[in-house]
Structure 1
Amino acid sequence: MSDALTLPAETRDRAGKGASRALRREGRVPAVIYGGKEEPTPIHVEERVLVKQLGTGHFMNSIIEIELGGKKLRTLPKDVALHPVSDRPLHVDFLRLAKGAKVDVNVPVVFENEEASPGLKKGGVLNVVRHELELVCDADKIPSEITIDVTGKEVGDSIHISEVTLPEGSESAITDRDFTIATVVAPSALKRSEAEEGEEVAADDVPASEQSDEEGESEEDAGEE
């Protein structure tokens, strides 16, 4: 499970674009806590601390304990707006978590035992269709990643969600189909070689007279240039 992160915050007294710009000039990032059948709570957090937590790589699927007014509020980040040029955080939405709540999260996929895949050992390539899985999890049991074993996989094999054992308290948010997560495909070098061979065969099928005409036309074009 992803470790809980602690984020100190202060209440925002003023709303609006002007107030938000003023906060950002002071090194603060406006945010809001919503959900839990309570009124939204506008807050602001220190940009430096937020950026550090964003850099962990698992901020979006971690429980964030927001320290506000001497209390800790358990939340889950739902959206981070970034500046289109500088990537500085501009605003954050946090979902307030009630006890026993279930949440939708995107959890990264990690593959293991690639050396035990005959297809990969032969030079095949693991084509990852989904780098993340959309899961419904207990708020206290959000996995940091989902590990998938590729032992025994041959070229042409696919890995579907039905083959994956999800952690206790987690289930796939997509239930209407057995979707593909990854496939083992032939190496690109082999595909290029086959394509080149196909082009050579196609050229051999063209009558010699037509090939000569095409060569003659190319020489004439070159002369005109």
Structure 2
Amino acid sequence: MKAIELEAKPREARKRNQVKALRSEGAVPGVLYGSGEPSKVQVDDREFTQLLKNASSETVLLDLTVGDQKHLALVQEVQIHPLSRQRLHIDFREVKPDQAVVVTLPIITEGEPIGVKTGGGNMDQVLRFVKVKGTPAALPEELIVNVEHLDIGHTLHVSEMETPEGIEVLANEGNPVVSVAKPRVVVETAATEDGEEGAEGEAAEGEGAVEGTGGDAKPAEEGAD
């Protein structure tokens, strides 16, 4: 995975209203966690937004410059306001080039299954993200799985995924990733003329029954007098 350059500035501890003022100035407060004491930092919100737009996945590896020091770091967590969608805080996690880390990567399908292309089947991607383990240099930005060989009724499992050397997929090998199912058939029931006539006949019989009941009731009333 290629590291993206980002500049951060050291940040002093501030009160809540001061941190709010910092955000209004276009900066986002953050913390860099590593082997030592956490370091308070701040980054430009516009630069960080552009960085995320250029990234191909939610897992972002950074060459983070803080003052005169460089750190290899991952974007660990971004806190966002639920209403305004403003970034409130960013956690950066420092990593070592030779140390394996656990990240979540997207799964991208490649090609069109033969069961869809020639059989009219439907492809269903069951698993879209998966956790993997590897060194920063070995980590891909996404996992690509070829699905061209899948016919109707076939399923591609985690154990069949091809991954780069040095990458371990942290998921049950039997978990399905992509499957191809038979096309769904929708059966429409149309009312026939005979059916309509039958319904009218039943309605007519029902009306006669009501009238007959009224006729039986009338003589009974006369007898009661």
Give TM-score scaled by structure 2 length: 0.79
The corresponding residue for 1:14 is: 13
User: 1:120·1:184 contact (CA, 8 Å) conserved in 2?
Assistant: yes
The corresponding residue for 1:66 is: 64
Please say if 1:4 is aligned against 2:3: yes
Aligned-pair CA distance for 1:87: 2.5
CA distance in 1, matches of 2:16, 2:125: 41
Change (3 A) 1:88 1:59: farther
Aligned length: 199
Letter in 2 for 1:34: Y
Please say if 1:27 is aligned against 2:23: no
Aligned-pair CA distance for 1:4: 1.1
CA distance in 2, matches of 1:127, 1:57: 26
CA distance in 2, matches of 1:4, 1:101: 15
The corresponding residue for 1:92 is: 90
User: 2:11·2:41 contact (CA, 8 Å) conserved in 1?
Assistant: yes
The corresponding residue for 1:131 is: 128
Deviating beyond 6 angstroms after TM superposition, the runs of 4 or more aligned structure 1 residues are: none
Query: Greater Rg, structure 1 or structure 2?
Result: 2
Task: Provide Cα deviations, 1:192-213, integer angstroms capped at 9, x if missing partner.
Answer: x15x46x99xxx9xxx78x947
Please say if 1:41 is aligned against 2:36: no
The corresponding residue for 1:81 is: 79
The corresponding residue for 2:145 is: 148
Runs of at least 5 residues in structure 2 that lack an aligned partner in the other structure: 207-225
Letter in 2 for 1:92: I
Q: How does 1:164-183 map to 2 (within 5 A)?
A: 164-174=161-171, 176-183=172-179
The corresponding residue for 2:213 is: none
Please say if 1:120 is aligned against 2:151: no
Letter in 2 for 1:180: P
Change (3 A) 1:17 1:159: farther
Aligned-pair CA distance for 1:157: 1.2
User: 2:57·2:106 contact (CA, 8 Å) conserved in 1?
Assistant: no
User: 1:112·1:148 contact (CA, 8 Å) conserved in 2?
Assistant: yes
Deviates more, 1:37-46 or 1:53-62: 53-62
Identity %: 28
CA distance in 1, matches of 2:115, 2:105: 26
CA distance in 2, matches of 1:51, 1:133: 24
Q: Which of these residues, 182, 186, 194, is aligned with residue 182 of structure 2?
A: 186
User: 1:60·1:78 contact (CA, 8 Å) conserved in 2?
Assistant: no
Runs of at least 5 residues in structure 1 that lack an aligned partner in the other structure: 217-225
Letter in 2 for 1:135: V
Letter in 1 for 2:61: I
Letter in 1 for 2:50: K
The corresponding residue for 1:55 is: 53
Aligned-pair CA distance for 1:75: 0.1
Deviates more, 1:146-155 or 1:12-21: 12-21
CA distance in 2, matches of 1:151, 1:30: 46
Deviates more, 1:14-23 or 1:46-55: 14-23
User: 1:62·1:142 contact (CA, 8 Å) conserved in 2?
Assistant: no
Letter in 1 for 2:161: V
Change (3 A) 1:173 1:82: same
Aligned-pair CA distance for 1:92: 0.9
CA distance in 1, matches of 2:57, 2:145: 22
Deviates more, 1:177-186 or 1:69-78: 177-186
Letter in 2 for 1:128: Q
Aligned-pair CA distance for 1:59: 5.6
Aligned-pair CA distance for 1:138: 1.1
